[in-house]
Amino acid sequence: MQNLGNSTVPSLLSDASKRLEQALKHVTISEDAIARLQHPKTSLSVSIPVRMDDGRLKVFSGYRVRYDDTRGAGKGGVRYHPNVSLDEVQSLAFWMTFKCALLDLPFGGAKGGITVNPKELSKAELERLSRGYIDAIADAIGVDTDILAPDVYTNATIMGWMMDQYSTIQRQLCRGVVTGKPLSLGGSNGRDTATAMGAFIVIQTMLPKFQLNPQETTVAIQGFGNAGSALAGFLAEAGYKIVAVSDSKGGIYAPQGLDIASVREHKNQSREMKAVYCQGSVCSIVEHQVISNQELLALDVDVLIPAALENQITANNADDIKAKYIFEVANGPISSDADKILGKKGIYVFPDILVNAGGVTVSYFEWVQNRSGWYWTLEEVNQRLKAKMEAEAENTWTIAKDLIIDARTAAYVNALNRLGTALDAKGTRNYFVKTDK
């Protein structure tokens, strides 16, 4: 069976596509569908000129990729980070395609980003940059075309700016073009904690299958941003022992367990909430042992949760991993080469396209609410999210057990089956070419 990797795609996208090689052995999918999934539908690179507060004109690079929209409009976040590139955005859009299919959402996969260190910009500069990005990509997005959402270093405020700018361009209110907005601008209850809540539901669904109970389970979380910190809170409330957390500046470790509520309060107080982005770090809490992000990944814990950026666990450090179970809250935190090493070590990895899908699921709920004008309570949102995440977690587990494959491969098998069915519905070689067989 032909695979999705080829020598012409960028390195990150090529690595991402390697995840499908094993899944392709367990699905019946046409060559037409494989050919179409080898390439993004649209890849847009733009220049965004921004007048800085000191009068200088600075030009930023921005991207928006719609990988596939066979099952519905493109859907994916926008990240602000110094390392954002077209290669990275294509890879993330690729993953989003399979994530939306895995959760059986009526969306395709998309992603966007701007190459910028947002912590170096004022709030006014961030607003001009965000609105300039929408000016540049407005023709490529839309309520039924491509829908934006928050991602790394973007938040509800920025989403509100983007929705407002697109509405200004279109001369009409277009709430559904952006999700993750403030509630007052058409956002959904539960969207701010959706990624964390979805991950928590998956963890609560999967760990009992290994006879693990919260009180006896140690957890380390790399990444203490919106998703990581909220997930730490949910897990602590459920009784899990969180022994280590970290952010971009470093981490803290306490074998007896951390007081997560205090850690979150400290970071919230130190981040100077008047700014758009935090300035503090969890590692500034001195009463606990200070560790690096790499040291956190190598801790001897039951559960490791990478919730930062991609490629945190690679072939270079996979042998150091001691955790028994890994739940990927970040997108692509484990490289394909590292996957093989972890598999040989007997470590169970639950993939990002399942674990962190709570965000896109509640984004879907927000889009539905925007279109219907009927808004749900937090309890209703969480009930719907719980039903969706539990169902697809159980589906993934069943496929893994039936086919005797790992959870990542099982998730891709499920997603590929749904994508293949949709792609083949448009016609295949067998349909167009008559044979006597």
Active-site residue numbers?
111
Which amino acid, residue 432? F
CA atoms within 13 A on the CB side of 403: 22
In angstroms, rounded to a whole number, what is the distance separating the alpha carbons of residues 311 and 338?
9
**Backbone phi and psi for residue 306, each to the nearest 5 degrees, phi listed first:** -75, 115
In the 3-class helix/strand/coil scheme, how is the chain assigned residue by residue? CCCCCCCCCCHHHHHHHCCHHHHHHHCCCCHHHHHHHCCCCEEEEEEEEEECCCCCEEEEEEEEEEEECCCCEEEEEEEEECCCCHHHHHHHHHHHHHHHHHCCCCEEEEEEEEECCHHHCCHHHHHHHHHHHHHHHHHHCECCCEEEEECCCCCHHHHHHHHHHHHHHHCCCCHHHECCCCHHHCCCCCCCCHHHHHHHHHHHHHHHHHCCCHHHCEEEEECCCHHHHHHHHHHHHCCCEEEEEEECCEEEECCCCCCHHHHHHHHHHHCCCCCCCCCCCHHHCCCCEEECHHHHHCCCCCEEEECCCCCCECCCCHHHCCCCEEECCCCCCECHHHHHHHHHCCCEEECHHHHCCHHHHHHHHHHHHHHHCCCCCHHHHHHHHHHHHHHHHHHHHHHHHHHCCCHHHHHHHHHHHHHHHHHHCCCCHHHHCCCCC
The residue among 330, 288, 325 whose CA lies nearest residue 312 is 330
Residues facing residue 75 across a β-bridge: 109, 147
The residue among 130, 114, 132, 118 whose CA lies nearest residue 61 is 114
